[in-house]
Structure 1
Amino acid sequence: MKYSVFTASTPEWTPAEAATTLAAQGWDGIEWRVTDQAAATPPGFWAGNLATWTLEGLEESIPQIAEITASAGLEFSGIGGYAQASDRVNSERMLAATAALGARRVRIAMPRVDGRNYPELFARTRGDLEWVAEAARRHGVMALVELHHETITPSASAARRLVEGLDPAHIGVIHDVGNLVIEGFENHRAGLELLGEYLAHVHIKNARWVPGEARADGSIPWTHGWATLRAGQADIAAYVADLVAHGYDGWITLEDFSTELPLARRTADNLAYIRELVDRARR
């Protein structure tokens, strides 16, 4: 296994700080967040994140991204992009940037359901993904579809159906245990087996459901929130054991959105914990 951090989860660090800190802690790689975002003070995961490269002017940033990554001795586990599959202009830009960096893999975002007709949205996205697959082939990289709640691919089953028949050398799937707490949970071992040759990348974080105040009729609304690796509802130890038993030996990217520990302690502890779990599963 190789271990990296997705910089959506390191909002307080500049790119140089993220790279040097993670390298010093012993991480193998980094997965840069690339998107245009709103300003925010203090920096947050989704707005004002200091470790995010903007999509606007991305091409001009490529030498700096490469230099910061290489000078820290880190590899690219991939690029965390937000361009929608239907946005062919920006999807092409993300694929081209990934090729220029030698980063090999880039996430292409799937649409949210948002009450739209699911079969129609799914069929339209399949057409978009066929175009993405061909563009990825031309650039010599792989486009990744993430298992993500509230999108058309919340589960391994939905993702396999979407990518079925496309070239797994250029279209892969990110399995994300934390997102599956919120929507799309299937037995993890079965999900990994179902994805088969399309299983290309793994994200690990954890989440939990939290009860709200009772309504007037006595019903309880529940909302999801992020949790530490140990405290969330996903059994991360069992999940890692499933990955090892399945034979997965690629990148594991941590994206911990909990805030109980200061950022540097959080990333260092996560690396030690995941390595311990992998070592235990391999015994």
Structure 2
Amino acid sequence: MKFSVFTASTPDWTPEEAAQNLAAQGWDGIEWRVTDQSDAASPGFWAGNRANWPLTGLEDSLDEIARITRDAGLEYSGLGGYARSDDHENVDRMLAATAALGARQVRVTMPRTDSGEYRELFAAARRDVARAASRAAELGVKALIELHHETITPSASAAFRLVDGLDPEHVGVIHDLGNLVIEGQESHRAAFQLLGPYLAHVHVKNVRWVPGEPETDGTVRWHHEWAPMRTGQADVDAYFTALHEVGYDGWVTSEDFSTELPLRERTLGNLAYLREVESRTRGFVRESSS
């Protein structure tokens, strides 16, 4: 496996700082966040992120993206795009940028479930994804669909329905451990087996559910919040064990949105932890199968 960081989770660093710092820590790659974002008084994950490349004028930034990535000695695990599947113009731009950079694969986002009637949203997205896969094939890249809460593909089962029958060389699924704690949780091994060749990429972060204050009638409503990799509710060891069991050996991208630790300490600790878990679970699976 190779390990990278999605720069949505490194908002304090400029692109050059992100690439240099991650390379110095020993990460194999980087997944650049590409979207037009709002300004913010201080850097944040979703607004004012300094490690973000704007979608507007992206083509003019490609040489700089390539230089920064190359000079740091990092590979691309892909591009973290935000163009929605029905935004054909920007999907095409992201696919073309992916091809130009040699980044191989790029995320195409799905409609939110609250944006329409589910069956209609799903049918339209299937047409859009088929179109994106066709365009990706022309460019020699792959469009990725992420398992993400509050979208039409929160689970592996939903994502498989969306991509089934399309060419897995040019469309695939991002399996996301943390998002599934919020919505879409299924047996990991069964999900990986179901996705088969469509399992193209993995995102790892962690989440916890916490109770709110009791209401006047005693009702307690729970909400989720991002948690450090080691302490969230998702079992990272079990996740890697399942990945090894199905023979996954691709990219694992960290996108830790917890804030208990400073950014530099957070990314360094996550790499050590992920490598430790990967090695331990690989050995466990090897021993179990011998």
TM range, smaller chain? over 0.9
In structure 2, how many angstroms separate the alpha carbons of the residues matched to 1:222 and 1:116?
Answer: 26
Instruction: Please state whether the residue corresponding to 2:268 is helix, strand or coil.
Output: helix
- TM-score, normalised to structure 1, is 0.99
**Which residue in the other structure is 1:156 paired with?**
156
Partner of 2:104: 104
Structure 2 SS opposite 1:114:
helix
CA deviation vs aligned residue, 1:208-241 (integer Å, no higher than 9, x gap): 1111111222111111110011111101111111
Which ranges in structure 2 are unaligned for 5 or more consecutive residues? 284-290
The alpha carbon displacement at 1:115 in A equals 5.7
Say if 2:6 is the partner of 1:6.
yes
Distance 1:160 1:50 in 2: 34
- 1:218-233 to 2 correspondences below 5 Å: 218-233=218-233
> What amino acid sits opposite 2:164 in the alignment?
E
Q: Measure, in 2, the Cα distance between the counterparts of 1:127 and 1:280.
A: 42
Cα RMSD between the aligned structures?
0.7
| Corresponding position: 1:73 with 2:73 | yes
How many angstroms apart in 2 are the aligned matches of 1:207 and 1:115? 25
Find the counterpart in structure 2 of residue 170 from structure 1: 170
Query: How do 1:9-158 and structure 2 match up within 5 A?
Result: 9-114=9-114, 116-158=116-158
AA aligned to 1:118 is Y
Distance, in Å, in 1 between the alignment partners of 2:246 and 2:190 is 10
Which residue does the alignment assign to 1:193? 193
Relative to the length of structure 2, the TM-score reads: 0.97
**Which residue in the other structure is 2:253 paired with?**
253
SS in 1 for 2:77: strand
Amino acid at match of 2:101: L
Task: Output the amino acid matched with 2:99.
Answer: A
Cα distance in 1 between the residues matched to 2:124 and 2:95:
20
CA distance in 2, matches of 1:245, 1:158: 22
Query: Does 212-221 or 132-141 show the bigger shift?
Result: 212-221
Give percent identity, aligned residues only. 66
Q: Supply the distance in 1 between the matched residues of 2:229 and 2:135 (Cα, whole angstroms).
A: 36
Distance 2:216 2:115 in 1: 27
Deviation of 1:246 after TM superposition, in Å, equals 1.4
- Shift of the alpha carbon at 1:251? 0.3
Cross-structure match for 2:234: 234
- Count of matched residue positions in the alignment of Structure 1 and Structure 2: 283
CA distance in 2, matches of 1:275, 1:153: 29
C-alpha distance in 2 between matches for 1:208 and 1:188: 18
The alpha-carbon deviation at position 138 of structure 1 amounts to 1.0
Q: Paired residue for 1:264?
A: 264
Following superposition, the deviation at residue 245 of structure 1 comes to 1.5
